[in-house]
Chains A and B, each alone.
Chain A
Amino acid sequence: MKEPEHRNVEQLVDHLFRHQSGKMIAVLTRIFGMHNLEMIEDVVQESFLRAMQTWTFNQLPENPAGWLMQVARNRAIDIIRRQQHFQQYSQELALELLQETEHTVQQFFSEAEIADSQLRMIFACCHPTLKEEDQIALTLKTVSGFGVAEIAHALLTNEAVIQKRLYRAKQYLKENQISLDIPAGHELASRLNMVYTVLYLLFNEGYNSMFADELIRKDLCMEAMRLCLLLAEHKTGKQPTTFALMALMCLQASRFESRIDENNSIILLQHQDRNTWNKALIQKGCEFLNLSSQGEELTVYHLESAIAAEHCLARSFSETNWQRMLQLYDMLLDQKRTPLVILNRAIVLTQLNETVAALKEIWQIENIEQLIQSQYIFSAVLGELYIQLGDDHNANKFLQQALALTTSLAEKKLIATKLETLAKTKMN
């Protein structure tokens, strides 16, 4: 019986299993094809169970990731050996065929090929015929190694819904024999756009709403960044727009910790301690922003990351270059005329002392009445603008509306505080 050495419990890198799961599934899918996805997921699950059992009672292997890959590889060769019916041939041929197969399989397990397979898998998950919500669920399951319950939790829905989405997506890929190809030419550009959309949604899903369980939401952002980086480092994904999206994520993530205080309350941008912003991420973001300027393209990701950079680089809220901000929002509006962009541009207008104009812009948003009834952010901003104008009646009305709509505890607290302040000033 061997005595395990003292083992540092932190020895395993964060999310090793999860990340490894994505790699193993990608490589095995390259070998066995999309139609075998279920079998592949079982193989990966078995490998983890095996690791869990072996590592628990013995020492950790020197290279845990490599160990897992090795198990997956051996299992793959095993399956091929059993399915190939080599006994139909002479021993000599059978041996040669087997060796050749093993050699080919081995090649798929090189670092470069693993990255390649992962990229192909992302492309498959973002197949244009799949619904957006199915793309996201499938990406999280197969590329990111999330469990069904974890996906449901992260996307604020229930397990049955996620099961259904995954089933639908897998069924489609299977029936239509979607292969793990990297598209070329025009098709590559349009598929990359799908991938950007999915990664962008993934990141925002984690970034924009805050719930009791903060950790898993942050995980979503980190996962989106990990996949985007994978894209940025791959010869096919190395595009200016990929860099722009990566810049946006880095810059937004740099403020992650400063947005919430110890009581889980939201800290507004103007009150955030800028010293707590992650400088390394800001720098990374700026580097990617520089890289993104190669070429002709100016996408929404370029503009949004430029806006984020203005915030990150301003020394204080009041020193923000609002004029430049307005220009960027004008350009963004040209490409993405959504109610949310109009709303954000209106906020910039108020910083330029044009609150009346800002309100006018907001009221001109199409279907604004309906948006106010359904999305708290519109009434929250309206409430704030009416406070600035000293219109207590309207301020009160819209803040109450926002309070009723938001499900986020942090947001609720923030709005409640504003309402209290309003009530106090009224009394004085």
Chain B
Amino acid sequence: MKDFMLIFRGAADQYDFSAEQMQQHMQKWFTWIDELKAKNIYAAGEALTPEGKTVKGAKVLITDGPFAESKELVGGFFVIKAGSLEEAAEIAKGCPDLPLEGSVEVREVMKM
């Protein structure tokens, strides 16, 4: 088993959700995470706040944001266990944000 990182990029549609829709959408995430945990696939996960700073270059320039479009903003990440990149991508298909035009980047964690 290898570790993979799932990086979730914003589902802009949810900003217009009603209270009920938001709660239901959150329940979908809960269900998905619980399923992954039940299968011992889920290792960890965190949410990221939208604010950020970028530190760049030899002159160490610090700027605010990435300030990407809300659609491109990383909302959070999981670390999951899977046999291959393909398998990890298959697992990522369960992400409840996909129907809302969200996206998931799937990357293998490099091990020594």
**Residues of chain A having any CB pair with chain B under 8 Å:** 1, 3-4, 6-7, 9, 11-12, 15-18, 20-21, 44-45, 48-49, 51-58, 145-150
Contact = CB atoms under 8 A, between A and B. Distances in A.
A46 to B, nearest CB: 10
A148 B19 CA distance: 11
B84 interface: no
B20 A15 contact: yes
Nearest to B35: A9
Contact of A21 (B19, B25, B29, B30): B19
Contact of B23 (A6, A7, A15): A15
Given A11-B30, A18-B18, A56-B26, 20 more contacts: A1-B45, A1-B46, A3-B44, A4-B33, A9-B27, A15-B20, A15-B23, A17-B23, A49-B22, A52-B26, A54-B47, A55-B26, A56-B33, A145-B20, A146-B18, A146-B19, A146-B20, A147-B18, A147-B21, A149-B18
Contact of B14 (A15, A49, A146): A49
Given A55-B26, A56-B76, A58-B47, A7 B19 contact: no
A57 B19 contact: no
11 contacts: A7-B33, A12-B23, A15-B23, A21-B19, A48-B22, A53-B47, A53-B76, A54-B47, A55-B26, A56-B47, A146-B18
A49 B47 CA distance: 12
A147 B22 CA distance: 11
Interface of B: 14-15, 17-23, 25-27, 29-31, 33-34, 37, 44-47, 75-76, 79
B19 A18 contact: yes
Choose among A7, A17, A57, A150 the residue with the greatest number of B CB atoms under 10 Å from its CB. A57
Contacts of A4: 33, 45
A56 to B, nearest CB: 4
A17 B33 contact: no
Contacts of A49: 14-15, 22
10 closest A-B pairs by CB? A147-B18, A57-B47, A17-B19, A17-B23, A1-B44, A21-B19, A56-B29, A145-B19, A18-B19, A9-B30
A52 B25 contact: yes
Contacts of A147: 17-21
Contacts of A1: 44-46, 79
Contacts of A53: 47, 75-76
A373 to B, nearest CB: 37
Contacts of B33: 4, 7, 56
Given A15-B20, A53-B76, A7 B30 contact: yes
Contacts of A7: 30, 33-34
A277 B26 CA distance: 34
